[in-house]
């Protein structure tokens, strides 16, 4: 690992051990709020984000910080996504965490001019750090990895139905289910992206594409030799907040086939 990777790993590990793991399956009702439907926030989210915001600001003075909870409090924070900034998801998989279930994690990305240039996805239960820098490959705990498929026939597709309309769910059943082994998503991007490169899933689609969920994972998967991109094939940019639609796959061929079925369903 580079000195920066080690620094980020130590910060994420400390935050998890101090704030996250002691409260897993021990949250009081008063420590959970709802920001919206199916969108909880906990004292852990806020505590970890506050800690990382302070630590990253000290690590790189002058670099703005865009945290999920900061954006919820003040949407003008999103303006920083067009420049050099850190992006933080302090507790990815909050819904799982509040239900006492794994997986959950912490995600940090470093972006510049709307593109992620480095990313870190940390699983505190496995003490696993997936990390990447633009143009330098993808790593797990310091060891370089190359994306691999499941090898299954049909391929394994992780599809979330949570945010789909009834029409979109019907399209999944009609156009995708006959060609893929459909599994649910883990509701945790810090876990979903590793699954796409480490032989557990072959392809996954995402409707919501917030930067704190996807900046690091998209970079890591692409650096591993997989493919993550918008449905039209364009690159994912962190400053396109709210733009729907993103597909990740363990290799470009699987990506092409899946997107082709989504965009050109049979009559």
CATH of the domain at 120: 3.30.540.10
Residues 178 and 122 in one domain: no
Domain range for residue 101?
3-144
Task: Please check whether residue 70 lies inside any domain of the structure.
Answer: yes
DSSP helix, strand, coil percent of the chain (3-state; round to 5): 40, 25, 35
How far apart are the C-alpha atoms of 178 and 111, rounded to whole Å?
A: 39
Query: Which pairing describes strands 156-159 and 203-206: parallel, antiparallel, or unpaired?
Result: parallel
Do residues 34 and 118 both lie within one domain? yes
Write down the pLDDT at residue 53.
98
pLDDT tens digits for 143-181? 999 999 999 999 999 998 777 788 888 888 888 999 999
- Report d(CA 124, CA 159) in Å as an integer: 24
The pLDDT assigned to 37 comes to 77
Counting as low any pLDDT under 70, the low residues of the chain are 266-267
Q: Which of 111, 144, 177 is the last residue of a domain?
A: 144
pTM for this entry = 0.96
User: What phi and psi, each to the nearest 5 degrees, are found at residue 171?
Assistant: -65, -40
Q: Residues 190, 81: one domain?
A: no
**Is the same domain home to 164 and 104?**
no
Domain end (from 116, 144, 172): 144
Q: Does 55 lie in the same domain as 164?
A: no
User: How far is residue 236's CA from residue 249's CA, in Å, rounded to a whole number?
Assistant: 14
């Amino acid at each position: 690992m580079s000195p920066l990777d080690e620094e980020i790993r130590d910060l994420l590990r400390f935050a998890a051990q101090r704030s996250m793991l002691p409260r897993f399956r021990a949250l009081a009702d008063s420590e959970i709020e709802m920001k919206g439907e199916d969108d909880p926030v906990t004292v852990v989210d806020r505590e970890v984000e506050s800690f990382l915001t302070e630590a990253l600001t000290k690590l790189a003075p002058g670099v703005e910080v865009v945290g999920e909870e900061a954006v919820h409090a003040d949407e003008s924070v999103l303006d920083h996504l067009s420049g050099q900034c850190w992006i933080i998801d302090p507790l990815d998989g909050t819904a799982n965490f509040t239900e006492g279930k794994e997986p959950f994690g912490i995600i940090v990305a470093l972006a510049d001019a709307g593109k992620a240039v480095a990313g870190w996805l940390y699983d505190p239960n496995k003490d696993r750090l997936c990390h990447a820098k633009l143009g330098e490959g993808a790593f797990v705990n310091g060891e370089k990895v190359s994306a691999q498929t499941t090898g299954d026939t049909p391929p394994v597709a992780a599809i979330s139905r949570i945010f789909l309309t009834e029409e979109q769910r019907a399209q999944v059943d009609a156009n995708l289910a006959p060609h893929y082994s459909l599994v649910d998503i883990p509701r945790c991007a810090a876990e979903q992206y590793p699954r796409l490169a480490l032989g557990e899933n072959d392809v996954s689609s995402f409707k919501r594409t917030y930067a704190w969920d996807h900046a690091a994972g998209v970079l890591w998967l692409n650096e591993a030799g997989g493919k993550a991109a918008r449905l039209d094939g364009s690159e994912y940019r962190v400053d396109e907040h709210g733009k729907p639609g993103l597909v990740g796959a363990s290799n470009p061929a699987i990506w092409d086939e899946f997107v082709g079925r989504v965009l050109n369903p049979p009559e």
